[in-house]
Amino acid sequence: MQRAGLLTICIGSAFFLAACNSGGGLSDRETEEALKDVNVIDETNLNEVMLSAADPNEAVSYFERTIAQNPNRIDLRRGLAKSLVRAKKPTAAALAWKTVVGMPGATNEDRVDYADALIRSNEWDEAENQLDVIPPTYETFKRYRLEAMVADSNKEWKKADSFYEVAIGLTTTPSGTLNNWGFSKLTRGDYEGAEKLFAEALTYDSSMFTAKNNLVLARAAQRKYDMPVVPMTQIERAQLIHTAALSAIKQGDVNTGKALLAEAIDTHPQYFDAAVRSLEALENGTG
């Protein structure tokens, strides 16, 4: 109802303005132009809805249909590329973004989004090429987050650390990036540095279970098997103890691992099948 009301107001305004300009009635051309302006307003609203609220696959179909009628509209091409990312079709999204960056009116933001789609489709070298084209004066959180990921993939650790640090300074919600940075440190063997970053990520988002699990992994790698002091549900606690148990066993601390598995089973409010199977395997000598 609200959309219909808004459209009625827009149509009324368009006709009123055209009438004032002509001093009376509307010519056919003026009427067509007035309705065209209204259609653009309404279509813009629809595009935004399709990008945010619609099912991603429905959005892809919508933009494909609309592009068939307006192939030179860069905003529609962007909408298709973004919808393909949302629909978890990274290869097709990368191709769509490639079209966008080759069109008049393409921006640095478009190229960053193209690099993002390339990373999602595991085309790291081309993603790096696209980021290199962007001038250094274009500084955004997403640009530096992707730069850090590319540097990580190349094992350029100092460069990765520098990019992660810049990215975190450009956002008010750095939990995910801190978690990624921590995982980077974890893979390098810098367990203490990883532990600090996972703990910091949880100060921004205490519900992020991935960061909690990674924090336990970083601590366990240092043979610190006690649970960190972070908010967690009873089920999460049992799962994290299970993670610590498996890490202990992997490092040769088998007795500690057995004790932790038993604790995980006792902690879980329901039947903890994974922990039970791990403990039985150890006790039977098949683990």
**Nearest CA among 96, 86, 93 for reference residue 58:** 86
Query: Which of 54-68, 175-189, 273-287 ranks highest by mean pLDDT?
Result: 175-189
Least confident range of 17-21, 211-215, 268-272: 17-21
Question: What pLDDT is attached to residue 145?
Answer: 98
Q: How far is CA 26 from CA 18, 37, 38, 93, 96, in A?
A: 7, 15, 16, 44, 41
Angle at 8 between CA 71 and CA 56, to 5 degrees: 40
What's the average model confidence in pLDDT over 183-206? 97
Name the token pair of 74. 């860069």
What's the average model confidence in pLDDT over 32-59? 69
Which distant-in-sequence residues (6+ apart) come within 8 Å of 219 by Cβ? 191, 195, 225, 226, 228, 244
Question: What pLDDT is attached to residue 209?
Answer: 98
Mean pLDDT of the chain: 88
Q: How far is CA 147 from CA 48, 154, 159, 172, in A?
A: 28, 11, 9, 19
Question: What pLDDT is attached to residue 54?
Answer: 73
Summarize pLDDT for 128-179 with one digit per residue, the tens.
Answer: 999 999 999 999 999 999 999 999 999 999 999 999 999 999 999 999 999 9
Question: What pLDDT is attached to residue 157?
Answer: 96
Where do we find the tokens 């996972």? 198
Question: What pLDDT is attached to residue 228?
Answer: 96
CA distance 266 to 287: 20
User: Is a pLDDT exceeding 80 seen at residue 101?
Assistant: yes
pLDDT category at 110 given cuts 50, 70, 90 is: very high
Max distance between CA atoms of the chain, in angstroms, equals: 95
User: Is a pLDDT exceeding 90 seen at residue 283?
Assistant: no
Summarize pLDDT for 223-263 with one digit per residue, the tens.
Answer: 999 999 999 999 999 999 999 999 999 999 999 999 999 99
Question: What pLDDT is attached to residue 48?
Answer: 85
Q: How far is CA 272 from CA 210, 231, 238, 261, in A?
A: 19, 21, 8, 10
Residue 287, classified by CB atoms within 10 Å of its CB into exposed (0-12), middle (13-18) or buried (19+), is middle
Sequence-ordered alpha helix ranges (H) in 121-253: 124-133, 141-153, 157-168, 175-188, 191-204, 209-220, 234-250
Residue 146, classified by CB atoms within 10 Å of its CB into exposed (0-12), middle (13-18) or buried (19+), is buried
Question: What pLDDT is attached to residue 8?
Answer: 38
User: Is a pLDDT exceeding 90 seen at residue 2?
Assistant: no
